[in-house]
Structure 1
Amino acid sequence: MEMHSHLSALNETRNNWFLRVRVTRIWNNTTSSGIMIRYNMILLDCEMHAVVAPELWNLFAGIITPGTIYCIRNLNVSPSTGLFRPVHSKDMIHFTASTTVVLDLNNDLFIPRHKFHITPLNELRDSFYFYGPENQPVYSTDVVGVVENLEAMRTVQIQHGSRDLMRFNISDGLNRHCVSFYSPFPEHYEALYETQLENPVIVILASTRVSVFRNTYVIGNLPSTKIYINIDDPQVFLMRQRPYSVSTSYKSTSYRTTWKIKARVTRMWPSVFVTDNGTETMKGYNLVLLDDADCHVHVFVYADN
């Protein structure tokens, strides 16, 4: 099989690179008047931001879908620029008219489905070291937490007219921050309002904007923001091991460890994580408990217990 280059090896010296990468996200940028500026993708073997001009996007729109691995040839590389960059790579990829994209049908390449640069909630203040010399934000921020106090969506008036607003808190049990997302919302946002989600509802908010309002840190959305809900990811797994007692309305958390309950086990499933080299590791077992007040609680039991 033809040798391919890793994203970490790309530079500006040539434009005939051959890659085998997974596309993890796609979004577009528009002006305030709705004019399309460019289409964006996150390519993953080590992670890199790729952009496509609007006039070229029709060449690839029917081919590329998030989560799939592709062979990509002939592209340009340039230094990353702009504010709130979605990845920390020093370079970015530009698709050209000579770029080709082909679905990779081989199964000999392992690339994880996601990669996040999580900033712990207690370090959001320190995340401002991402800011440039003129106090402008260089990188966006990924965060993980339990959803609490999910509010009904409402319409508000802002500087540029009326926008829909969704608000909730995310918490790690000790730290809690407000999330305020304005329309247009990230893809699949409506899933947060489904009543059948497994509790606790743990989200990874990728590529968010952190700002300060009245001495409070607020997590906001960008065009590149995406919401991942209860996904099979090590960060979610670690969050789920914390001793939460969570109501179905996402509102209560507690660190008490002497609870005594009477409940029925309604579901049980294993937690298995796959490392970067494809090795499977059994972490433990999950249970969903249901009591006579019709309240569901998620419980995790380590495999060695």
Structure 2
Amino acid sequence: MFSLLSTLNTSRTDWRIRVRLSRIWLRTSIDGNVDGYNLIMIDNQSTNVHAYVKAEIWNLFNNYITVGNIYEVSTFYVRMASGRFRRTRSVVSVVFCMQTTVSLFNDSYCDIPRYKFDFLQMEQIIQRVDEDNSD
């Protein structure tokens, strides 16, 4: 049984989710070294969540993780999402650890969307900036 992204919380690490990988981008340090990888994952309820993978852990997965594919991911940390660099509306984010497993899910039909977009009015953007800068 898989958990929905909307049900993730910080109470445990034995989660199991089925998600489509929508985006990947690098996180680099000031000196240009790759610190890790940011991911956006989407489930079949169109909920998206940001995930972070440290560079040394990414090396366990990088040969077979591809944007657009669907994966079964298990055993990871969940933390509260906060700060001005929050990537999705989700209140939590996922952090891969050494125990995290990622398996490709091969199914000709799957109801997980490829992308999710949140369109905002200008006033909402300004409000979010104000909220994020109040930390």
- Common fold by TM > 0.5: yes
Q: Does 1:39 align with 2:37?
A: yes
**Which consecutive unaligned segments of at least 5 residues does structure 1 have?**
139-305
- Could you report, residue by residue, the CA deviation over 1:218-270 in whole angstroms, capped at 9, with x for unpaired residues? xxxxxxxxxxxxxxxxxxxxxxxxxxxxxxxxxxxxxxxxxxxxxxxxxxxxx
Q: TM-score, normalised by structure 1?
A: 0.41
Q: Which residue of 1 aligns with 2:24?
A: 26
Which protein has greater RCO, CA pairs closer than 8 Å, 6+ apart? 2
Q: Does 1:51 align with 2:52?
A: yes
**Which consecutive unaligned segments of at least 5 residues does structure 2 have?**
none
The alpha-carbon distance between structure 1 residues 93 and 126, as it changes in their structure 2 partners (threshold 3 A), is closer
Q: Which residue of 1 aligns with 2:125?
A: 127
Distance in 2, Cα, partners of 1:55 & 1:24: 22
- Could you report, residue by residue, the CA deviation over 1:46-85 in whole angstroms, capped at 9, with x for unpaired residues? 1000000111110011111111101111111000133232
**Paired AA for residue 36 in structure 1:** V
Q: Which residue of 2 aligns with 1:113?
A: 114
Aligned residues of 1:130 and 1:137 also touching (Cα < 8 A): no
Q: Which residue of 1 aligns with 2:80?
A: 79
Identity %: 36
Match of 2:5 among 4, 7, 29: 7
Distance in 1, Cα, partners of 2:129 & 2:5: 25
Aligned length, in residue pairs:
132
SS in 2 for 1:62: coil
Aligned residues of 2:84 and 2:129 also touching (Cα < 8 A): no
**Paired AA for residue 28 in structure 1:** L
Q: Does 1:66 align with 2:64?
A: no
Q: CA deviation at 1:106?
A: 2.9
Q: Which residue of 2 aligns with 1:102?
A: 103
**Paired AA for residue 54 in structure 1:** A
Distance in 2, Cα, partners of 1:73 & 1:43: 13
- Look at both structures and tell me which one has the larger radius of gyration over its CA atoms: 1
Q: TM-score, normalised by structure 2?
A: 0.88
Higher strand share: 1
Distance in 2, Cα, partners of 1:22 & 1:68: 6
Which structure 2 residues correspond to residues 189-208 of structure 1 after superposition, within 5 A?
Answer: none
**Paired AA for residue 91 in structure 2:** K
Higher helix share: 2
Q: Does 1:136 align with 2:133?
A: yes
The alpha-carbon distance between structure 1 residues 137 and 36, as it changes in their structure 2 partners (threshold 3 A), is farther
Aligned residues of 1:18 and 1:73 also touching (Cα < 8 A): yes
Q: CA deviation at 1:125?
A: 4.7
Aligned residues of 1:71 and 1:102 also touching (Cα < 8 A): yes
Q: CA RMSD in A?
A: 1.9
Which structure 2 residues correspond to residues 105-254 of structure 1 after superposition, within 5 A?
Answer: 105-107=106-108, 109-119=110-120, 123-133=121-131, 136=133
SS in 1 for 2:99: strand
